[in-house]
């Protein structure tokens, strides 16, 4: 058990009362459905640990509807590049803390970008890190991250079936990076992700933004580890660990966050219920055989590693040709 920070940019637990509060939170009934295994409105964050700065707080939601977790990162903070939260082992179900390989997961959450001026360097706001097996290297890329660069949302996914690999073993067997549209500040952006965690090519990655499907991909989604990846949320700006960029502060809010298992769980995890529109009907299956709309050109082939299996499909998104993020994600 750790009573302080592991290291600069590392993880620390919350203060007094976190155990009792978290046990009560876990004992509370889940409201979104039988397949939902985690559901929080961020009215408390006791089951989370700080990663980086310990400035994340519970506050009123920016639209006045409920509560939210507020993340702030300043270039001159003690940890200049990271203000994130990660689930504490034992405080949430094991299959929430680490995804179960081979299982189909649905993740729904909403993000409100507050102070977020345009920057040419990545801001990673949601990510999954693999849990390397004992004796294997731990320095690898996140298996999935959702980031902002310039004016765009970008998703990056990597996976590999080789055992005990590190960043030195790049290129990864599977590497996907796509733009998901322009980001907006001052409102909730709603995401739903359908992920089958697999180091084989039967993995699934589907993403909806504000109710519209923006990515449908069949790809390796994790490394060849016994445990599946674990989630981190907040702000991670790798470039600020070593250099300045054209911005000095980032701030955002996280609203609801839900996790479900099984098929067709869109409605169970979706956070849409306001001016951005209603929840669409739950999707059926993986739409790998639907061509992109006429005004959208099919994405070019994967730029790194082996080609993805037939059926790979990108909806309303474009490939990101700049591969610079591969050298900074960690």
Please tell me the distance from the alpha carbon of residue 23 to that of residue 44, in angstroms, as a whole number.
12
Res 28 pLDDT > 80? no
Q: In degrees, to the nearest 5, what angle opens at C-alpha 124 toward C-alphas 173 and 194?
A: 60
pLDDT at position 329, please? 33
Res 320 pLDDT > 70? no
Between 145 and 294, residue with greater pLDDT? 145
pTM: 0.79
Average pLDDT of span 9-34: 41
CB 69 within 8 A of CB 257: no
Average pLDDT of span 88-112: 97
pLDDT in tens, 258-285: 999 999 999 999 999 743 433 444 443 3
pLDDT in tens, 29-63: 344 457 999 999 999 999 999 999 999 999 999 99
* CA-based max dimension of the chain: 57
Instruction: Tell how far CA 191 is from the center of its chain.
Output: 10
Q: Please report the domains of the chain, with CATH numbers, ordered by start residue.
A: 11-327 (2.60.120.200)
């Amino acid at each position: 058990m750790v009573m302080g920070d592991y290291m600069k940019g590392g993880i620390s637990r919350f203060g007094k009362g976190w155990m009792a509060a978290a046990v009560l939170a876990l004992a509370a009934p889940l409201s979104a459905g039988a397949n939902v295994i985690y559901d929080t409105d961020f009215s408390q964050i006791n089951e989370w640990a700080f990663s980086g700065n310990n400035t994340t707080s519970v506050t009123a939601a920016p639209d006045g509807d409920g509560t939210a977790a507020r993340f702030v990162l300043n270039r001159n903070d003690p940890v200049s590049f990271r203000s994130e939260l990660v689930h504490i082992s034992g405080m949430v179900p094991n299959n929430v803390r680490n995804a179960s390989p081979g299982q189909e997961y649905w993740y729904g959450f909403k993000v409100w970008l507050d102070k977020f001026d345009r920057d040419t360097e990545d801001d990673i706001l949601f990510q999954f890190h693999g849990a390397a097996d004992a004796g294997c290297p731990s320095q690898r890329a996140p298996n999935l991250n959702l980031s902002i660069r310039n004016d765009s949302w970008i998703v990056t996914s990597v996976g590999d079936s080789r055992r005990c690999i590190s960043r030195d073993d790049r290129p990864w067997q599977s590497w996907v990076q796509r733009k998901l549209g322009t980001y907006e500040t001052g409102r909730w952006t709603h995401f739903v992700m359908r992920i089958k965690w697999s180091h084989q090519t039967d993995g699934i990655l589907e993403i909806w933004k504000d109710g519209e499907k923006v990515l449908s991909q069949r790809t390796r989604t994790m490394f060849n580890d016994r445990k599946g990846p674990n989630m981190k949320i907040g702000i991670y700006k790798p470039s600020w660990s070593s250099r300045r960029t054209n911005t000095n502060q980032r701030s955002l809010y996280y609203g609801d966050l839900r996790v479900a298992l099984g098929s067709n769980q869109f409605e169970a995890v979706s956070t849409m219920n306001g001016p951005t529109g209603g929840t669409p009907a739950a999707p059926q299956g993986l739409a790998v055989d639907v061509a992109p709309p006429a005004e959208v050109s099919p994405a070019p082939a994967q730029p790194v590693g082996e080609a993805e299996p037939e059926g790979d499909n990108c909806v309303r998104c474009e490939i990101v040709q700049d591969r610079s993020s591969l050298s900074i994600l960690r």
